[in-house]
Amino acid sequence: MADNDRAPLGVGMIGYSFMGAAHSQAWRTAPRFFDLPLDPQMRVLAGRDPERTAAAAHRLGWDSTETSWQALVARDDVDLVDICTPGDTHAEIAIGALEAGKHVLCEKPLANSVAEAETMVAAAEAAEQRGVRAMVGFTYRRVPAVQLARQLVADGRIGEVRHVRAQYLQDWIADADAPLSWRLDKSKAGSGALGDIGAHIIDLAQFVTGEQITGVSGSLRTFVTERPVATEFAGLSGQGGTERGPVTVDDAAVFLADLSGGGVGVFEATRFAYGRKNAIRLEVNGSKGSVAFDFEDMNVLHFYDAADDPVVAGFRRIQVTEPQHAYIGHWWPAGHGLGYEHAFTHQAVDLVEAIAAGDQPTPTFADGLAVQRVLAAVELSSESGARRVEP
């Protein structure tokens, strides 16, 4: 039931795998830990398989189901459409929902191409004129330690940005016998490590520095070119059969980047870093100091102030768990820490608050398009051998 003194916000979600589960957790917890101006109601989950969708709706906490995104979007009790599907469906669903007057939250990357992303931005800008909002799901921005890093840079605490060093390291397909999934199929995912996890570090670098990537020189690799076809798959793992199929995306992406403030960046996204399960590392070196974040120690930010007394200078290990830090006051006492899932809750909170205030939530679809342009520039540089490609 909707909370009596707050207007309901009917939510419909499409897709119920890894991201669907993370977003469902966010919709369940957001109104219970944050005083929201609207009351999110988990109205409907859409999936193609009726039985599996019904089971997922029961497990994840959705009131009803539909077997098509069109039926979900058409419902009068849906005010916001949450897209948790592979990238090949983002454009048609987001544009359909925006044109139907529904707010949209779309998982990253925004689309599988710059052209698609441009059509989504156009639809979002037209919908904004009617008070309809759209956000793209770069959730790592909403980790409190990342928020603190951005604040320190914005406050000039590290001076002018000279270096960005960004890595996103996973190993879930380092085993050549790990089966195929939609993330390894270009027609579904658009690209491999580059778009799936490289997109995150591109957005993080631009978010924390407040600068844009203005040129890249990149190289993509596919180490394993065919794999067993999956007989079952969930999240990031599954079972393969005897049939084999082609890998049509990159396994790893590395690139150099120019930053709009004159600095330089080194980026690495791979699914073959054995031992690294979800290691996101960002270090920004400036003219007056540095900040460094490692998702494997996600409640901590390291900060170096070059003005410190050399006798006692060193990286400060800041526990970002004080009530003064972003979002923390709504959760636990100092030192208890947050997890991967909390950034999804923060994402839902910020979206609901923006909708209620009539503000534009961030990251916008235009922010998503900016990331898409960098992805395309890295792909072009890798394919052409061009030393520098502008996004």
The verdict on 332 binding ligand SOE (CB under 6 A) reads: no
The verdict on 268 binding ligand SOE (CB under 6 A) reads: no
CB-facing half-sphere around the CA of 119: CA atoms within 13 A: 13
Q: Which is nearer to ligand SOE, 33 or 172 (CB)?
A: 172
Give the contact letters, 152-181, x = binds to ligand SOE (CB under 6 A), - = no. Answer: ------------------x-----------
Cβ at position 54, least distance to ligand SOE in Å: 24
- 79, 118, 196, 379: residue in contact with ligand SOE (rule CB under 6 A): 196
Q: Which of residues 230-249 bind ligand SOE (CB under 6 A)?
A: 236
CA pair distance 45, 127, nearest whole angstrom: 23
Q: How many residues bind ligand SOE (CB under 6 A)?
A: 6
Place of tokens 């992406």: 253
Q: Which is nearer to ligand SOE, 72 or 169 (CB)?
A: 169
Q: Which is nearer to ligand SOE, 79 or 196 (CB)?
A: 196
CA pair distance 294, 165, nearest whole angstrom: 11
Cβ at position 353, least distance to ligand SOE in Å: 22
CA pair distance 132, 330, nearest whole angstrom: 28
Are 159 and 287 in contact by the 8 Å Cβ rule? The answer is: yes
Structure tokens at 272: 């073959």
Q: Which is nearer to ligand SOE, 214 or 278 (CB)?
A: 278
Are 350 and 31 in contact by the 8 Å Cβ rule? The answer is: no
Give the C-alpha distances (Å, rounded to integers) separating 125 from 46, 82, 118, 309: 26, 18, 11, 50
| Residue 323, preceding peptide bond in cis (omega within 30° of 0) | no
CA pair distance 39, 3, nearest whole angstrom: 6
- 3, 18, 68, 287: residue in contact with ligand SOE (rule CB under 6 A): 18
Give the C-alpha distances (Å, rounded to integers) separating 100 from 73, 75, 96, 201, 375: 7, 10, 6, 32, 30
Cβ at position 279, least distance to ligand SOE in Å: 11
Cβ at position 29, least distance to ligand SOE in Å: 17
CA pair distance 145, 168, nearest whole angstrom: 17
The verdict on 197 binding ligand SOE (CB under 6 A) reads: yes
Q: Which is nearer to ligand SOE, 60 or 318 (CB)?
A: 60
Structure tokens at 324: 């003064």
184 burial level (CB within 10 Å; 0-12, 13-18, 19+): buried
Q: Which is nearer to ligand SOE, 23 or 165 (CB)?
A: 23
Q: Which is nearer to ligand SOE, 169 or 370 (CB)?
A: 169
φ and ψ at 238, to 5 degrees? -170, -175
Cβ at position 236, least distance to ligand SOE in Å: 6
Question: Which residues sit at the interface with ligand SOE, rule CB under 6 A?
Answer: 18, 170, 196-197, 236, 278
